[in-house]
């Protein structure tokens, strides 16, 4: 068998040495060339009950404290955070996110009801704008059931380049199919929350994460 010239032999050996790296890169190159699978949009849900008929003067992202009061809301503290994305997974900075819910007594605030029955230290409603990475974070209380309804949090989101979304988040295991009335029976396509204990030994504080996905307008 005729020996390869030294220069050709060196090139051949170099090519074989580089082959594993080229094979490893091939799937990545194909993946980069393929379109990304769109994310499923967050399922919408009813706005009521009960969006405030008037917005409170204190409407920041901490619903457990009311400006001018020293007390803290009754109930189990909950920190919920996440991102707002479009269907391509891109963050939607500057999204207006609104959160409202009943207090631990099952009473909605700012809807013209009996203020004497409300927890005076619960804000009831909060709003914020997502940051440059599309992130949001609220401090509130773990939602409670009331009047035959399952525990839930109300959200409304609006962004200039996305379709507006109104939805509700339900704790997993306490979801709508366990309750009758309000047209909820048998409806499974609802957003669910998983709770965990807060890190760092914060007594009785829960955390939850949820990423909202909005369709482009």
Same domain for 203 and 122: yes
Q: Which domain holds residue 30?
A: 1-34
Would you state the pLDDT for residue 186? 45
The per-residue pLDDT for 167 is: 93
Spans of the chain, pLDDT less than 70: 1-35, 175-189, 201-203
- What pLDDT, on the 0 to 100 scale, is given for residue 184? 44
**In-domain check, residue 61:** no
The DSSP H or E segment spanning 41 is: none
Shared-domain flag, residues 6 and 91: no
203 falls within a domain: yes
Same domain, 181 and 81: yes
In a domain, 46, yes or no: no
Indicate whether 163 belongs to any domain: yes
Rounded Cα distance, 56 and 75, in Å: 20
Distance of CA 65 to the CA centre of its chain: 22
| Residue of 29, 162, 9 whose CA lies nearest to 95 | 162
- If you ran DSSP here, which 8-state letter would residue 11 be given? H
Number of independent structural domains in the chain: 2
- Which pLDDT does position 5 carry in this prediction? 54
């Amino acid at each position: 068998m005729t020996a390869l010239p030294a220069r050709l032999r060196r090139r051949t050996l170099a090519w074989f040495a580089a082959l594993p790296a080229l094979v490893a890169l091939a799937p990545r190159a194909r993946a980069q060339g393929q379109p990304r699978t769109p994310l499923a949009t967050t399922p919408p849900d009813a706005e009521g009950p009960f969006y405030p008929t008037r917005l409170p003067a204190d409407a920041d992202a901490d619903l457990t404290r009311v400006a001018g009061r020293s007390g803290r809301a009754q109930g189990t503290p909950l920190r919920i955070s996440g991102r707002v994305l479009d269907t391509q997974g891109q963050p939607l900075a500057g999204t207006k996110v609104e959160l409202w819910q009943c207090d631990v007594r099952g009473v909605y605030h700012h809807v013209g009801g009996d203020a004497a029955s409300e927890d005076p230290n619960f804000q009831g409603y909060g709003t914020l704008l997502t940051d440059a990475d599309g992130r949001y974070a609220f401090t509130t209380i773990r939602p409670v059931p009331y009047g035959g309804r399952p525990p839930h949090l109300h959200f409304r989101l609006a962004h200039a380049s996305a379709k507006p979304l109104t939805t509700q988040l339900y704790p997993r295991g306490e979801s709508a199919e366990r309750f009758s009335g309000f047209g909820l029976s048998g409806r499974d396509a609802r957003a669910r929350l998983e709770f965990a204990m807060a890190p760092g030994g914060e007594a009785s504080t829960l955390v939850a994460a949820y990423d909202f996905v909005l369709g482009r307008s």
